[in-house]
Structure 1
Amino acid sequence: MKYSAMLVAAGVLSAGTAFAQGAPIKIGVLYPLTGGGAVYGAPALVGHQMAIEELNAKGGIMGRKVESLERDDKLNPATASSTMKELITKDKVDIVLGGLASSVGLAMTEVSKQEKVVYISTIPKSIQITTDKLHKYVFRTSANTDQEGEAMAILAGKNKLAKICHLELDYAYGNDLEAGILKAMPKYAPDAKIVLTLKPKLGATDFNPFIPQVMAAGCDGVLSGLWGPHFVSWVKQAAPLGFFNKIKWISGGEVGSHEIAGELKGEYPDNVISNTYELWYKGNDPSHKEFQEKLAKKLNTQETPQWAALGYIGVMYAAAAMEKAKSTDPDKVAEALEGLSIGTPVGTLTIDAKTHQANIGQFWGPMVKKPDRAYRMMEPAEYIQPK
């Protein structure tokens, strides 16, 4: 299913909804809505829009209508920076959400600092956002590369990998994920050895120069952050060569999500262990069922995408912070976000007051064939939430 075709008009109000006097609260959001990144960006925007609709149906934020100003970041840091500045200076948004690529998230973090407007990073994972680049106005509700790297190192140890090929995209996410894995390996996979490291560029589509190198390296496992269309392209080019017959693929980048499983269907290979924030067929919190049913109705499909949950959570965090602060003032909203806990479709989340990082978890598990499905599903799926 092409989730880029699922975009719907935001801001639908239920009949008779009444709002208090006052200008609408404006939420700016950037996701990649065209190109390869749209496989994740479009579903994230659907979740964002669903949250806006729910808020407006209940009277908005502080009794004021909520408007969503949506833009395509085109998976490009320069585009994201200029567009975000325009949303802040011209459109006068009260807060900015979104981003997908870590390079885009880092660019948006810098604009947030310059313009003194709160930015909630709903998808970008680079650890730098909440360490080296951390400032008063930036917060993250997605996982970070250290958390993901630790989980991958744990899985490498559990699967007794001896020789590992490391395959990452050559940009912030890939480089930081590699660092997170290497930091965790001595503890969780002390007997494993990295025998090859390769770094294709972000947006790469031709992996034929890399596939033979990995197959010749003698590794019994690959640790990789190839996500979305990158993973799809690798599978289509490598699987016919028997690549996945003997090599275990342990992957970040949420290739365990239905966005990817549903796209690859029968082409999804064996020996893949991956992650996802949310599964339409498995919840870790009682509220998940209601959320998934609403999303399924909105998209007219039972098999909903996982990225919608991240877009949804970002909006609900913004709303909760403004309600707590009783203001849209960036300084007051930033203060309200520190230590803030809210209920979400994946359980109660808390943003750490010092690091501005939410303790969101992920499902991890092998992708297996199901006799009654045309696509693979994660089974068993273990939800791992950082403390």
Structure 2
Amino acid sequence: VFYTGAAPNQQAIPAVEYLMSKDGGSAKRWVLLGTDYVYPRTTNKILRAFLKAKGVKDEDIMEEYTPFGHSDYQTIIANIKKFAAAGKKTAVVSTINGDSNVPFYKELGNAGLSAKDVPVVAFSVGEEELRGVDTKPLVGHLAAWNYFMSVKNPTNAEFTKKWAAYAKAKGIAGHKDKPLTNDPMEATYIGINMWAQAVEKAKSTDTDKVIAAMAGQTFKAPGGFTSTMDKENHHLHKPVFIGEVKADGQFNVVWKTPGPVVADPWSDYIAENKGKKNVPMMK
């Protein structure tokens, strides 16, 4: 397995650090809100340990989960509003996945909680999720990714142009009229290109030969940086971007890392992970 998506230190940790900073609003209280499955629970286990390491007390952390497809956020938003009324700047870290994001943000708007009052940073809301959604309640809220379509550089301009042409030619639903790129697409694009480069280097599609040739592969990514495949843990080195939702469903990048971040698959903030490393399985 070669991982092209973000490890927690390439998305979740930087997002919380940004919200803690002066530029991000100096948040002191935290709502960890997610869909009830392994990714949100594991991410929040890491974030809770990280927040405690930064001196945040348990009473300043609210953690809540909802099932897939959950649509009634009235009570949860009321509880968030009450939690935020304690006088300390409050931020929501959202690992809500799928269709539940629509009623969640809609209810935020109904409750009058703007991004200035209680900023929300999401890890699963991107350009595709915002397609056809009323973005008024979302404007100013945040998403943390390793790529945004709005990033300006020649490589991204070529990537978006090629996708638009392909989507139109193939008549891909939704994309033939409004072609969008997003983080998972960029990750897949990097991965398949690295695989092709590894096959060329190995002069073979034999699995073991390609695995060996993948180590240290580099690719000029649409995000504007050169991504590297780590030799040890099989994760990409990726930049981190934090973007504000705009009215047109795109993102304005408000913060980014100076360059790619090396993935930490075993977060040291969890005691049982300390000292663990991803070691590639070789025959």
Among candidates 169, 180, 183, match of residue 304 of structure 1:
180
Q: How many residues were matched structurally?
A: 241
Among candidates 268, 273, 278, match of residue 142 of structure 2:
273
Letter in 1 for 2:226: T
Match in the other structure for 2:217: 340
Letter in 1 for 2:211: A
What are the superposed Cα offsets for residues 334-376 of structure 1, whole Å, 9 maximum, x if unpaired? 122222222232332111111111012232122244xxxxx24
Match in the other structure for 1:237: 107
Match in the other structure for 1:206: 72
Among candidates 1, 14, 18, match of residue 151 of structure 1:
14
- 1-side partners of 2:216 and 2:96: how far apart? 32
Letter in 2 for 1:225: T
- Partner SS for 2:133: helix
Change (3 A) 1:179 1:152: farther
Contact 2:220 2:226 in 1 (8 A): yes
- 1-side partners of 2:128 and 2:99: how far apart? 10
Among candidates 287, 291, 294, match of residue 155 of structure 2:
287
- Coordinate RMSD, CA, aligned: 2.5
Q: CA deviation at 1:140?
A: 0.2
Equivalences for residues 367-386 of structure 1 within 5 A: 367-369=245-247, 375-384=248-257, 385-386=260-261
Match in the other structure for 1:225: 95
- Partner SS for 2:20: helix
Contact 2:15 2:144 in 1 (8 A): no
Percent of pairs with identical residues: 20
Q: CA deviation at 1:274?
A: 1.2
With 327-336 and 232-241 compared, the bigger mean Cα shift is at 232-241
Contact 2:149 2:181 in 1 (8 A): yes
Match in the other structure for 1:356: 234
- 2-side partners of 1:236 and 1:343: how far apart? 38
- 2-side partners of 1:197 and 1:191: how far apart? 14
Letter in 2 for 1:286: P
Change (3 A) 1:365 1:280: closer
Among candidates 65, 68, 81, match of residue 215 of structure 1:
81
Equivalences for residues 17-166 of structure 1 within 5 A: 138-158=1-21, 159-166=25-32
Change (3 A) 1:351 1:160: same
- 1-side partners of 2:94 and 2:134: how far apart? 21
Letter in 2 for 1:251: A
Contact 1:152 1:181 in 2 (8 A): no
Match in the other structure for 1:196: 62
Contact 2:160 2:181 in 1 (8 A): no
Q: CA deviation at 1:191?
A: 5.1
Structure 2, unaligned runs of 5 or more: 168-175, 263-283
What are the superposed Cα offsets for residues 256-284 of structure 1, whole Å, 9 maximum, x if unpaired? x221333324434244121234333323x
Q: CA deviation at 1:162?
A: 1.6
What are the superposed Cα offsets for residues 214-242 of structure 1, whole Å, 9 maximum, x if unpaired? 22223622112123422223112332122
Match in the other structure for 1:315: 192
Change (3 A) 1:250 1:192: farther
| TM-score, normalisation: structure 2 | 0.74
- 2-side partners of 1:317 and 1:358: how far apart? 10
Among candidates 121, 135, 140, match of residue 250 of structure 1:
121
Match in the other structure for 1:167: 33
- 2-side partners of 1:199 and 1:318: how far apart? 37
| TM-score, normalisation: structure 1 | 0.56
Structure 1, unaligned runs of 5 or more: 1-137, 370-374
